[in-house]
């Protein structure tokens, strides 16, 4: 079997890899956050946000950077599919098999605040993990759906970019899962291969002419890789496109002829064994594709009432800063979209996802914190008829566009950096911490002392001017909450 090496390292020299969760301007601050604890690392050549760990004085999973949602531990091979899809800023992306969310998070950063990602996952447990990770890493432009991807009620031909990383046998992960080949073989393979075909068929139907889907697996099994690509070419009319071979990997020659453009990461490469193919639907992009502008329907015809599937009551964005307990919220920092309240939690939903909701898809937005309605005339509990919730009927007559009544308290989730102003905009409210001892004290439950006892609401926390999260204020004591308040 032929192979091509890009880099001279073998698996024996492999170290853990991770990626930085930030914008380009924040890269130096995240790196400094790691270095104050003694971590050493080096950049990887295939992505400016990818790093290889060289020295680990403490488990990386306990680092400040991870606990504040500023790094994601991820195998280097697993970083390749979003890079192969390469959605531009402002694009709408469908991530068909999303959990635990590593690739979803990369896509979120790549499309930027003007773009969005719709992430689906059928398992209740795994969709919970997906949502937890997206919350920690502040992927505010992602909406999630608990559903098998093949059952999504989306109309045909509207998506320009689809990520499909389907369930597979995992033969490429033998270094971590030595029993994978034995477990996923024999009569267990045919149902898996059939599911992959079903998902490919669904992806092909959703692609706009000119749109692309990246099909990837963490297996070395030709039946799940090259043979599936050949099947998609013959039966779905998809055309493979050549992928560049990124540096730092060893690649094998594809196992079927006519597959020169696919990537097969070798078993003994740095990173786990992996397969990637980029497939395009022939034709020119139509004008009515789905983008972050949210101007076009993405679901089947037969619309319900506008926002009929929104799982809660809408809330005007402009009202959030005026809520009791809101503090120095920067609502303008959120991407374009809307707020809604559901079961006491305030969510943000990107405007690019609104057409999906209008057509009946139950999309869960990004959680920002807890809303508590205070007793007042005409008030009521969230979700009740008085609150304009799900029982309010068409148009939510009683709650209207505002949703909650005029007396409500908002408690921001400590991880909701999406609502944080810049350190300059925060002014005296900002809490700047630049040393390891103070951060360690906060994470161990000890408090910092506020500059003023008269300040109200949560305090935004920064490291090297980079937002970390929200501190809870108790008089002059500032505390980092042990857990998120959102399940």
> Last residue of some domain: 45, 73, 101?
73
Q: Which of 218, 298, 356, 371 is catalytic?
A: 218
Q: What is the pLDDT of residue 181?
A: 60
Q: What is the pLDDT of residue 10?
A: 46
**Is 277 part of any known ligand binding site?**
no
- Whether 22 is a known active-site residue: answer no
**Is 101 part of any known ligand binding site?**
yes
Domain assignment of residue 348, yes or no: no
Whole-number Å distance between alpha carbons of 109 and 82: 10
Domain assignment of residue 451, yes or no: yes
Domain assignment of residue 29, yes or no: yes
> Last residue of some domain: 73, 90, 107?
73
Q: How does DSSP classify residue 151?
A: G
Count of domains observed in the chain? 2
Q: What is the CATH number of the domain that holds 475?
A: 2.30.130
Q: What is the pLDDT of residue 389?
A: 37
> Last residue of some domain: 73, 91, 111?
73
- Biggest distance spanned by C-alpha atoms of the chain: 76
Domain assignment of residue 230, yes or no: no
Structure-block tokens of residue 127? 């969709």
Q: What is the pLDDT of residue 70?
A: 98
Whole-number Å distance between alpha carbons of 348 and 317: 9
Residues 6+ apart with CB under 8 A from 446: none
**Is 102 part of any known ligand binding site?**
yes
Q: Among 483, 329, 347, which Cα is nearest to 415's?
A: 483
Q: What is the 3-state secondary structure (H, E, C) of 26-83?
A: HHHHHHHHHHCCCCEEEECCCCCCEEEEEECCCCHHHCHHHHCCCEEECCCHHHHHHH
Structure-block tokens of residue 259? 């597959």
Domain assignment of residue 56, yes or no: yes
**Is 165 part of any known ligand binding site?**
yes
**Is 244 part of any known ligand binding site?**
no
**Is 121 part of any known ligand binding site?**
yes
**Is 169 part of any known ligand binding site?**
no
Task: Count the neighbouring beta carbons within 10 Å of the beta carbon of residue 192.
Answer: 17
Whole-number Å distance between alpha carbons of 253 and 89: 33
Domain assignment of residue 51, yes or no: yes
Q: DSSP string spanning 138-179?
A: T-TTEEEEES-GGG--B-TT-EEEEEE------GGGTTT-TT
Q: Could you report the average pLDDT of every consecutive run of 10 residues in the chain (487 residues)? A: 47 79 98 98 98 97 97 97 98 97 98 97 96 96 97 91 94 61 72 97 97 96 96 98 95 93 89 94 84 53 58 86 78 94 94 87 94 53 37 38 62 94 92 95 93 82 97 92 67
Whole-number Å distance between alpha carbons of 73 and 77: 12
**Is 384 part of any known ligand binding site?**
no
Torsion angles phi and psi, residue 293, rounded to 5: -70, -20
Domain assignment of residue 9, yes or no: yes
First and final C-alpha spacing in the chain? 49
Domain assignment of residue 351, yes or no: no
**Is 371 part of any known ligand binding site?**
no
CB distance 445 to 405 below 8 Å: no
- 50 beta partners: 19
Enclosing domain of residue 450: 420-479
């Amino acid at each position: 079997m032929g192979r091509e090496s890009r880099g001279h390292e073998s698996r024996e020299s492999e170290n853990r890899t991770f990626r930085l969760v930030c914008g380009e301007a924040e890269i130096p601050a995240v790196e400094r956050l790691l270095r104050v604890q003694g971590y050493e690392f080096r950049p990887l050549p295939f992505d400016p946000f990818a790093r290889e760990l060289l020295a680990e004085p403490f488990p990386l999973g306990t680092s400040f950077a991870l606990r504040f949602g500023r790094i994601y531990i991820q195998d280097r091979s697993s970083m390749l599919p979003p890079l192969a899809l390469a959605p531009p800023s402002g694009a709408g992306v469908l991530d068909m098999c999303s959990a635990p969310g590593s690739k979803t998070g990369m896509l979120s950063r790549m499309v930027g605040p003007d773009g969005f990602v719709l992430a689906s996952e059928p398992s209740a447990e795994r969709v919970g993990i997906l949502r937890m990770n997206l919350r920690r890493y502040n992927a505010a432009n992602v909406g999630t759906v608990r559903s098998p991807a093949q059952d999504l009620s989306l109309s045909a031909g509207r998506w320009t970019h689809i990520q499909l990383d389907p369930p597979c046998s995992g033969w490429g992960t033998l270094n971590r899962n030595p029993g994978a080949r034995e477990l996923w073989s024999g009569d267990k393979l045919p149902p898996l291969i059939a599911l992959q075909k079903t998902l490919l068929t669904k992806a092909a139907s959703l692609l706009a002419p000119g749109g692309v889907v990246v099909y990837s697996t963490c297996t070395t099994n030709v039946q799940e890789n090259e043979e599936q690509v050949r099947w998609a070419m013959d039966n779905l009319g998809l055309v493979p496109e050549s992928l560049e071979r990124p540096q730092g990997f060893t690649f094998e020659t594809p196992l079927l002829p006519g597959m020169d453009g696919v990537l097969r990461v070798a078993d003994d490469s740095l990173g786990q064994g992996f397969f990637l193919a980029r497939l395009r639907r022939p034709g020119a992009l139509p004008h009515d594709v789905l983008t972050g502008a949210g101007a076009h329907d993405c679901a089947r015809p037969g619309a319900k009432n506008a926002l009929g599937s929104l799982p809660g009551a809408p809330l005007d964005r402009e009202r959030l800063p005026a809520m009791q307990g809101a503090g120095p919220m920067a609502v303008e920092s959120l991407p374009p979209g809307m707020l809604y309240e559901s079961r006491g939690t305030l969510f943000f939903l990107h405007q690019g996802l609104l057409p999906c909701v209008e057509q009946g898809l139950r999309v869960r937005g990004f959680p920002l914190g807890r809303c508590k309605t205070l007793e007042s005339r005409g008030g009521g509990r969230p979700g009740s008829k008085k609150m304009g919730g799900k029982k309010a009927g068409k148009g939510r007559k009683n709650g209207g566009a505002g949703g909650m009544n005029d007396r409500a308290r908002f408690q921001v989730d400590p991880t909701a950096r999406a609502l944080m102003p810049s350190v300059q905009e925060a002014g005296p409210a900002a809490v700047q911490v630049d040393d390891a001892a103070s951060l360690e004290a906060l994470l161990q439950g000890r408090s910092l002392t506020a500059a003023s006892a008269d300040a109200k609401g949560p305090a935004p926390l920064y490291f090297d001017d980079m937002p970390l999260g929200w501190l809870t204020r108790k008089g002059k004591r500032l505390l980092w909450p042990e857990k998120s308040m959102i399940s």
